[in-house]
Amino acid sequence: MRFIYTCGGTLKGLNGTIESPGFPYGYPNGANCTWVIIAEERNRIQIVFQSFALEEEYDYLSLYDGHPHPTNFRTRLTGFHLPPPVTSTKSVFSLRLTSDFAVSAHGFKVYYEELQSSSCGNPGVPPKGVLYGTRFDVGDKIRYSCVTGYILDGHPQLTCIANSVNTASWDFPVPICRAEDACGGTMRGSSGIISSPGFPNEYHNNADCTWTIVAEPGDTISLIFTDFQMEEKYDYLEIEGSEPPTIWLSGMNIPPPIISNKNWLRLHFVTDSNHRYRGFSAPYQGSSPLALTASIGELEEHIRTATGAIDVASTPADVTASSVTAVTSHRLSEEQRVQVRNLSDSGLDPNTPEDQLSPHQADTQSSSRRPRNAEQIERTKELAVVTHRG
């Protein structure tokens, strides 16, 4: 695939606005646009979406916590829902718009602001949620609730705290307001199991489920998958709260264990409108950092006793060099997997910086995408209105 429209640039300053080319009248096809925001050293960057409408599944905005390199990949956004604010962990943040050669939508508009090290930034309000509090510096507390008919999943109170690297961050993720009959939920307690809807039977199409696991303050959470079957690339499980900050899982292989870096983990399960599989099942256990290795061993032993032996590494440190490729395929996003696959086919090192690649080698879109049908195109046309913040 060859891109026919490039744009973007490097942005500096306390704040500013980024718009997709042609906004709000539609971005061009074949776009490959990258914006790099650079703040003062030790400061961070927060972006707030004011409008967002991209053709779902085919056009997307990739976010990088640093320069636009696969190792800095944060998440990928697509569709017609306004994303929540995003805050970097470094003084550099990047956005990349990629579109195909067919249908387009209105695009996006983003406001960015440089944050001092003592500020957590406004974390935003979830859909159907209410935020109480207007101060976002170290020591400040805010609370959330939901409108009638919706249940709050997650922690209702957030506190802005200073962490070990001399920057501020919220102690919990922003909660979610879930419809009373929707899948997902908040999991509390020292242990439990999270499974996809209907497991061990097939999950349903167009699922959008979010679970938040909350452990005791100071504890961490270990998550070990005992079953994992999803449609490659199109159905996925996104996990937040570990290292790296966001992990995307898809396909048919059981991922390695995941360990939180705080006392919470969030799992977001998304499926499309086509094929269905068994889904996933994953026991979890909370424990103090000193007891973490023992707790993982106990959890694995319990799993083996209940279900038979499973072939996963007990900790990330146990992953041998021969299994790095397999582990990488689980922990990378779709964009990263395509990049690694393309680089492997070309004989290049997957760690080669993007600015050293040719346009063909740096192409991150898969050439084997599922073709659109008439229903998808009509749905895009119906949804292709400017989704904006009121």
54-102: per-residue pLDDT in tens? 998 889 999 999 999 988 998 899 988 888 889 998 899 999 999 998 8
In one letter, which amino acid is 44?
R
Proportion of the chain above pLDDT 70, given as a percent: 72
Please name the fold of domain 117-181: Complement Module; domain 1 (2.10.70)
Residues with Cβ within 8 Å of residue 40, at least 6 apart in sequence: 91, 114
| More confidently predicted of 200 and 57 | 200
Does the predicted TM-score (pTM) go above 0.75?
A: no
Residues with Cβ within 8 Å of residue 147, at least 6 apart in sequence: 128, 129, 130, 177
Select, from the ranges 131-145, 166-180, 323-337, the one with the highest average predicted confidence (pLDDT). 131-145
Q: Are 136 and 113 in contact (CB under 8 A)?
A: no
Delimiting residues of CATH 2.10.70.10 domain(s) in the chain = 117-181
Delimiting residues of CATH 2.60.120.290 domain(s) in the chain = 1-115, 183-317+324-340
- pLDDT higher than 80, residue 327: no
pLDDT at 291: 54
3-class DSSP state for residue 34? strand
Structure tokens at 221: 């959470």
pLDDT at 103: 84
Question: For residue 385, which of 28, 81, 105 has the smallest C-alpha distance?
Answer: 105
Please name the fold of domain 183-317+324-340: Jelly Rolls (2.60.120)
Question: For residue 105, which of 122, 130, 80, 126 has the smallest C-alpha distance?
Answer: 80
- Please, which residues bridge with residue 195 across strands? 281
Q: What's the rounded mean pLDDT across residues 303-329?
A: 36
Confidence bin at 359 (pLDDT 50/70/90)? very low
Confidence bin at 255 (pLDDT 50/70/90)? very high
Q: Are 169 and 120 in contact (CB under 8 A)?
A: yes
Q: What's the rounded mean pLDDT across residues 382-388?
A: 47
Enumerate the H helices of the chain as residue ranges.
292-307, 324-331, 334-346, 359-362, 374-383
Cα gap 381→170, rounded to integer Å: 38
Lowest mean pLDDT among 1-10, 108-117, 210-219: 1-10
- pLDDT higher than 50, residue 342: no
Instruction: Characterize the bridge pairing of strands 220-223 and 129-132.
Output: unpaired
pLDDT at 97: 96
Q: What's the rounded mean pLDDT across residues 288-298?
A: 56
pLDDT at 323: 26
Q: Are 198 and 276 in contact (CB under 8 A)?
A: no
| More confidently predicted of 225 and 367 | 225
- Ramachandran angles phi, psi of 299, nearest 5°: -65, -45
pLDDT at 2: 61
- Please, which residues bridge with residue 92 across strands? 38
Question: For residue 89, which of 246, 221, 258, 210 has the smallest C-alpha distance?
Answer: 246
Cα gap 187→284, rounded to integer Å: 10
Dihedral of the CA atoms 315, 317, 321, 323 (nearest 10)?
A: 10
Confidence bin at 245 (pLDDT 50/70/90)? confident
pLDDT at 372: 52
Dihedral of the CA atoms 82, 85, 91, 94 (nearest 10)?
A: -10
- pLDDT higher than 90, residue 227: yes
pLDDT at 192: 93
In one letter, which amino acid is 281?
S
pLDDT at 42: 84
Q: What's the rounded mean pLDDT across residues 101-116?
A: 91
Mean pLDDT, rounded, of the chain = 78
What one-character-per-residue DSSP string does 222-268 give?
A: EE--SEEE--TTTSEEEEESBSSSEEEE-SSSPPPPEEBSSSEEEEE
| More confidently predicted of 300 and 167 | 167
- Ramachandran angles phi, psi of 375, nearest 5°: -65, -40
Question: For residue 247, which of 294, 278, 282, 215 has the smallest C-alpha distance?
Answer: 282
Q: What's the rounded mean pLDDT across residues 94-123?
A: 92
pLDDT at 382: 52
- Please identify, in words, the CATH class of the domain defined by 1-115: mainly beta
